[in-house]
């Protein structure tokens, strides 16, 4: 074998290794970019703030109004809003779109907020009773049994943050909006007793 043959062998082997080497770093660069993209998205999820008042829809109805041109549909919503610390309110809103009706009802609930006079155990000091339209409710303190209530009265008591309390609807009304309003009317009696005590 001559010197020229050995030179030719070196020349043929060098191009093969130069083709394989540049492919490896490309895969690493792509993985590095993915890691950067994931790290950018994660802090945005943590920046969400919790709303001041929780809300729950009690009744949702589609209302029809007959006009000269035909029927027009709109949505009527009644919801309960509260901070679970003694403040609660009921509001109604009507609009052609559901999200807009919810927003109106929430604004109405915030306007009609009441502060409940509660005990240290987040219960009520004495029995109360109220009547609104055809709804009639009786609320009393109950020890060690949580919330014993049904219909939308339970929703009002939960969002007010009350515990160890029982409520009974003495009427046969199935109207959830009226049942929520009668619960607010009953809890308002505790608010008036609180004002008298402060005087």
74-85 pLDDT, tens digit per residue, is 999 999 999 998
Q: What is the pLDDT of residue 185?
A: 94
Name 113's Cβ contacts closer than 8 Å, sequence gap at least 6.
81, 87, 88, 89
Residue 48 three-state SS = coil
pLDDT, tens digit, 9 for 90 and up, residues 14-70: 445 444 444 444 544 545 555 555 555 555 554 567 778 899 999 999 999 999 989
Predicted TM-score of the model (pTM): 0.69
Give strand ranges (E) for 7-133: 54-67, 70-82, 87-95, 114-115, 128-132
State how far the Cα of 177 lies from the Cα of 182, in Å rounded to an integer: 9
Residue 66 three-state SS = strand
pLDDT at 125 over 80: yes
- The mean predicted confidence, pLDDT, of the chain is 80
Q: Give the residue-averaged pLDDT of 97-115.
A: 94
Q: How many Cβ atoms are within 10 Å of 194's Cβ, its own excluded?
A: 14
Q: What percentage of residues in the chain have a pLDDT greater than 70?
A: 71
CA distances to 39, 44, 51, 123 from 48, in Å: 17, 8, 9, 32
Of 115, 105, 148, 142, the closest CA to residue 126 belongs to 142
pLDDT at 197 over 50: no
With tokens 């929430």, the residue in question is 106
Burial (CB count <10 Å: 0-12, 13-18, 19+), residue 178: buried
pLDDT at 196 over 70: no
Which stretch of DSSP H or E encloses residue 169? strand 165-169
pLDDT at 93 over 90: yes
Q: How confident is the model at residue 154 (pLDDT cuts 50, 70, 90)?
A: very high
């Amino acid at each position: 074998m001559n010197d020229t043959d050995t030179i030719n062998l070196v020349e043929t082997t060098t191009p093969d290794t130069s083709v394989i080497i540049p492919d490896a770093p490309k895969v690493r660069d792509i993985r590095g970019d993915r890691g950067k993209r994931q790290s950018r998205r994660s802090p945005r999820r943590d920046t969400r703030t919790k709303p001041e008042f929780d809300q729950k829809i009690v009744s949702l109805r589609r209302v029809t109004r007959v006009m000269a041109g035909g029927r027009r549909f709109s949505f009527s919503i009644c919801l309960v809003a509260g901070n679970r610390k003694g403040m609660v309110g009921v509001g109604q809103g009507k609009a052609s779109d559901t999200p807009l009706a919810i927003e109106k009802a929430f604004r109405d609930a915030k306007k009609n907020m009441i502060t409940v006079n509660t005990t240290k155990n987040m219960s009520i000091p004495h029995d109360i009773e109220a009547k609104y339209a055809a709804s009639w409710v009786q609320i009393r303190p109950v020890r060690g049994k949580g919330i014993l209530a049904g219909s939308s009265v339970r929703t009002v008591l939960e969002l007010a943050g009350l515990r160890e309390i029982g409520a009974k609807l003495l009427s046969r009304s199935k109207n959830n909006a009226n049942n929520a309003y009668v619960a607010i009317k009953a809890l308002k009696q505790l608010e008036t007793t609180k004002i008298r005590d402060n005087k």
